Structure 1
Amino acid sequence: MKYLEYTPLDRINDFLSHVNLGERTIKGCLEAYSCKHTGTDKRLSLSLENEILDHLGKSLDTDSSSPVEYLCSRSSRKTMIYLLLTLHHMYPDYDFSAVKAHEFFTEESWDSVKQIFDDYMFEASKAWLEENEVPLLETLYKTLDEVVKLAECEIYSYNPEAEANPFLEKGSIWSYHFFFYNRKLKRVVYFNFGCLSNLVGDFGDESSFEEDDEIFEGMDM
Structure 2
Amino acid sequence: MFFHPLDFMVLPFMLLAMYAQYKVSSTFSKYSSVSARSGNTGAQVARGILDANGLYDVPVEMGQGMLSDHYDPRARAVRLSPDVYHGNSVASLGVAAHEVGHAIQHAKGYAPLALRHAFVPVANLGSMAAMPLFLLGFFLHFPTLILFGIIFFSAAVLFQVITLPVEFNASNRAMQMLSHYNYVGRDEMGSVKKVLGAAALTYVASALVAVAELFKYVLIFSSVNRDE
- TM above 0.5: no
- Which is helix-richer, 1 or 2? 2
More strand by share: 1
Query: TM-score, normalised to structure 1's length?
Result: 0.29
